[in-house]
A and B are shown apart, each in its own frame.
Chain A
């Protein structure tokens, strides 16, 4: 049996799943200052009359780290950066202990200016003096050559509590993003470490001996041991959990869109052939782009509680939300009230909706129904426009080969899956507007927890080989070794594949070689003075997010226990 828990902004949801069967589901309020209490309530409910020893896996999606950043509950981080020619290092300044150490590597990883070790010593001494104990160490082009990051790490080792090294966080090139990713990783580490220790103790109290995994923003999981090395990967895992839940409930294997309509916002994600589409490089945290791989989610400020306003005969919907809809006791009319007025919904106190919308309408010479119709139109148009933009964006992603230009299959979603409170109300309206099949799946209230329960581990690595230099590198696994001149693309693909399998195995996850996707495999002739000096080989391998089972939605008979 597997447990999935999603700690969201307002609710903590949990499910217990056995194979394809949903056994129990529960909701509890999220208590920010006592997350263990929220988890505990959900666990007590779903484990009622169950043998906790039969639980093999517990997957947890948590806003802990996101929330820590938002509320400033983070550690000071010594950010030690080695730059070089190009965009000024100052551009990426973050935190109050950001230091540049002179030195430079070029795009081949060749040293072009030596590391200033005197400056390094001064900077490090200064950080320790100020009580800084966590660090982020990043050099430009470190995935090509980690020498500076390793050197600085060795220098810090004895006295630091935690160090994030750029090349171990991601093998992808992007200096600024690498700095920010390492910064946030170190900033949230201590809080996450404290939480994980308490969580493990608390699970013992429930007699749960399951392996514990943490959800990542790309829809996959990582074992707790890995999460303690890269806690930053757990940021924004909530929308990813929902997307994976939809996958488990609907079995969608075509191009489709997922709309999660909430009170304030609507989140839109896109699936290509049943797989969620990821951000090209990573999500932004506090407006800073990072290398945290994530499901691509577009948000629009329209939801059931979006405030209605009239401005010069135009009806505006959102992005403001001042409270719940009037039907649920709010003070001002919202989109949900407009649905009530048009008899598209009968939610809560319909009379209050009518009164509120009418009052707003009268002031601008409309009837309540006119205003409500305009409001719904505005909302549907805005959501539709956003959907069309997202499809256009996905289909115009840059490609780099003639083959891709000629052969690329455009993504053309034919199905829209809606979840969230007001989902059913939108179904018919969006079907008419977009001409797509629109589905409101069952169990969507706990899709996030189901997704958490059933998703599997994901992993990713970049391999770069240069047979002229006789070197292969896999930064994330700290592999930098010599290769013979005969090393070719097939060897590289084979090596990437087995390294990724081995990496997951080490984390306690076994996958078959077919599950490893090779997303890039290029071999370039390196030509020097008009003869071929060797090959430059680039391979990217990944294990995509996927669910290990689909939920049998036929007749679960499970009711979500909201009274935990």
Chain B
């Protein structure tokens, strides 16, 4: 019988009773054929590969990560809680050393959900990786964490959650934002003023295939990881770079995905997008599982796989090589972005569009340039649905001055905000006003 070189826990949760809508790509059927493939291959008969139930993320698990307006229940349905709970289970398995690695094969996905959530963006309500990371930091202490997002779409939500966090390195490899939703993810986006270089965006041209993708992994991602020395590597494992994906334009294969995982060696992988549910997902997911477990994956091939047909054109390959030559500088020699500052506060003003729900959020973020701690963060957020909302975040190492300021702002009466949320990591206090 086959035996895993590294034990692997798989949280397989297809949510067979949940869909965004009947014909939406994010629907009940999405992981059905993956499960057929797993069953027929006898994946869980391999010694060392085990199947686990997801946990369920509580209000507290979500509110320590997100500002949810108007309320956590309005944002997170049971499906989101269980999907995030699947990621939490993956982290628990690894940190409790029950398995060496874990793969949360759960839906719905989460990497477009930002720090503030006012609704669904790009099929995502709750950032399941971020909820997982904050859960494990709360239970196992502040860790250095690297999140490598290999979904075809820029992981703008995860980037936003960790924009100011120097202990979380976020690397996203994706199809160039000039050609695909959400239209962001350029090298200039390299992290906030106190976390410069901790966000690395690698926009790959359309039709990038195995060689180009793995070139970027080898020449940009791996050297940066070697320097950052994270305690944990997390892969946001979107599968929509696949050559047969209906909503993207890349040419990645199941073999490519498997090799990516063999090279990256993530401790935890979390499923993100991927909607070629018959032709790609069964093979890609199998390849990822076998690679993570250290098993032979060389025969995991799509029936219509033809490497010659999907290979990059020479000029695409040249473009990727040139791009990669400059990319490590983003991390090693980060250029300061244009930072707006009012008094002691860094200011960001943004409009954020929620495509699924067709609403626009107006957001103003203030981050205190505090010498004694990571700094209080104050976010004002407004949509036509919720009116004016206020979010206050106090960091783990919050200093007394920031703490006092935060609670003063939170407890202020008649300040014009309909809803205010306190996200106090130091005292583990997560509450709404009123």
Contacts and interface: CB of A to CB of B under 8 A. Distances in A.
B29 A536 contact: yes
A173 to B, nearest CB: 4
A526 B303 CA distance: 20
A524 B303 contact: no
Interface stretch (A54-62, A80-88, A511-519): A80-88
A91 B2 contact: yes
A107 B40 contact: yes
A142 B51 CA distance: 24
Nearest to B35: A400
A525 B54 CA distance: 24
A85 B39 contact: no
A205 interface: no
Contacts of A403: 17
Given A176-B45, A525-B27, A401 B37 contact: no
Nearest to A281: B45
B23 A140 contact: no
Contacts of B13: 398, 400
Contacts, number: 116
Given A87-B2, A107-B282, A405-B54, A141 B301 contact: no
Given A141-B40, A173-B40, A401-B17, A87 B303 contact: no
Given A86-B37, A91-B1, A532 B282 contact: no
Interface string A373-396: 000000000000000000000001
B27 A527 contact: yes
Interface in A87-115: 87-88, 91, 104, 106-108, 110, 112-113
B18 interface: yes
B42 interface: yes
B1 A86 contact: no
A140 B40 contact: yes
Contact of A86 (B12, B79, B286): B286
Contacts of A396: 52-53
B299 A86 contact: yes
Contact of A107 (B12, B15, B23, B33): B33
B29 A399 contact: no
B286 A406 contact: no
A2 to B, nearest CB: 38
A497 interface: no
A85 B29 contact: no
Given A525-B23, A536-B32, A107 B37 contact: yes
Contacts of B23: 525, 527, 530-532
B278 A402 contact: no
Contact of A402 (B12, B82, B246, B302): B82
A287 interface: yes
Interface string B219-231: 0000000000000
Contacts of B300: 85-87
B299 A525 contact: no
B135 interface: no
B41 A86 contact: yes
B194 interface: no
A396 B92 CA distance: 15
Interface in B13-38: 13-18, 22-23, 25, 27-29, 32-33, 35-37
Interface residues of B, number: 47
Contacts of A289: 1, 42, 45
Given A401-B16, A402-B82, A177 B42 contact: yes
Given A398-B53, A402-B18, A406-B78, A85 B301 contact: yes
A536 to B, nearest CB: 7
A113 B32 CA distance: 23
A505 interface: no
A175 interface: yes
Interface residues of A, number: 44
Contacts of A287: 1
Contacts of B299: 85-88
B321 interface: no
Contacts of B41: 86-87, 175-176
B56 interface: yes
A226 interface: no
Contacts of A399: 53
Contacts of B27: 525, 527
A527 B29 contact: yes
B123 to A, nearest CB: 14
Nearest to A538: B32
Interface in B265-316: 278, 282-283, 286, 290, 295-296, 299-304
A254 interface: no
B17 A402 contact: yes
A172 interface: yes
Contacts of A398: 12-13, 51-53
A67 interface: no
Contacts of A140: 40
A488 B249 CA distance: 36
A92 B207 CA distance: 38
Contacts of A91: 1-2
A397 B42 CA distance: 16
A175 B53 contact: no
Nearest to B34: A107
A81 to B, nearest CB: 13
B40 A401 contact: no
Contacts of A525: 22-23, 27-29
A522 B16 contact: yes
A174 B40 contact: yes
Interface in A506-564: 522, 524-527, 529-532, 536
A88 B54 CA distance: 30
Interface centre among B16, B79, B282, by most A CB within 10 Å? B16
Contacts of A130: none
A248 B302 CA distance: 52
Given A398-B53, A525-B29, A173 B2 contact: no
Contacts of B283: 85
Nearest to A526: B29
A400 B53 CA distance: 9
A87 B1 contact: no
25 contacts: A85-B300, A86-B299, A88-B296, A107-B37, A113-B303, A141-B40, A174-B39, A174-B40, A176-B41, A397-B53, A398-B53, A400-B35, A402-B17, A403-B17, A405-B54, A406-B78, A522-B16, A524-B28, A525-B22, A525-B28, A525-B29, A527-B25, A531-B23, A532-B23, A536-B32
Given A399-B53, A529-B246, 8 more contacts: A86-B286, A86-B299, A113-B303, A289-B42, A396-B52, A405-B56, A405-B78, A526-B29
Interface of A: 84-88, 91, 104, 106-108, 110, 112-113, 140-141, 172-177, 287-289, 396-403, 405-406, 522, 524-527, 529-532, 536
Interface of B: 1-2, 12-18, 22-23, 25, 27-29, 32-33, 35-37, 39-42, 45, 51-54, 56, 78-79, 82, 246, 278, 282-283, 286, 290, 295-296, 299-304
9 cross-chain pairs, A with B, having the tightest CB-CB distances, nearest first? A112-B303, A173-B39, A524-B29, A173-B40, A401-B17, A176-B42, A85-B301, A107-B36, A401-B16
